[in-house]
């Protein structure tokens, strides 16, 4: 009768690899320990934190661009006003809207700078991952 256990009929026990012949540099238990180690968990948290900081940076860039568009090009009007020129009509309305939006622009710029500083560790991660 033929054997159905996957071992040829002529194979002896001595011909099969022993436990010492198998590369046991990393055992299953050790690999589980590596995955569950606090360092690995911290690395995953660090990567998540870096990715979240990149998302936050992208969001602040988007907000900053929108606020810049809302403020418009009021610099020439502010310069005219600071030079003592009188503004009237559409220019005055544009200046009023722009000046009221300046606080939002300053806040958006500050948020962008903070997000930019927080996202700097992403450079190192990107250099490692995208080599």
DSSP letter string over 71-105? H-S-HHHHHHHHTT----THHHHHHHHHHHHHHHH
Task: Please give the structure tokens belonging to residue 13.
Answer: 């026990």
Q: Given a cut of 70, is residue 34 above it in pLDDT?
A: no
**Side-chain-side CA neighbours of residue 111 (13 Å):** 17
pTM strictly above 0.85: no
Please give the Cα distance from 104 to 67 (Å, whole number).
7
| H-run or E-run covering 38 | helix 38-71
The residue ranges of every structural domain in the chain are 34-129
pLDDT digits (tens, 9 = 90+) for 38-57: 565 567 788 889 999 999 99
């Amino acid at each position: 009768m033929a054997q159905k256990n996957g071992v040829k009929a002529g194979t002896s026990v001595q011909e099969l690899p022993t436990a010492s012949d198998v590369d046991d540099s990393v055992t299953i238990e050790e690999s589980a320990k590596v995955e569950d180690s606090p360092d690995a968990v911290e690395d995953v948290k660090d990567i998540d934190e870096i990715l979240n900081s990149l998302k936050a940076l992208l969001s602040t860039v988007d907000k900053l661009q929108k606020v810049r568009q809302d403020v418009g090009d009021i610099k020439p009007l502010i310069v005219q006003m600071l030079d003592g020129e009188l503004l009237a009509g559409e220019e005055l309305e544009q200046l009023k809207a722009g000046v009221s939006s300046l606080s939002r622009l300053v806040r958006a710029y500050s948020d962008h700078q903070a997000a930019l500083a927080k996202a700097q560790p992403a450079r190192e991660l990107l250099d490692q991952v995208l080599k």
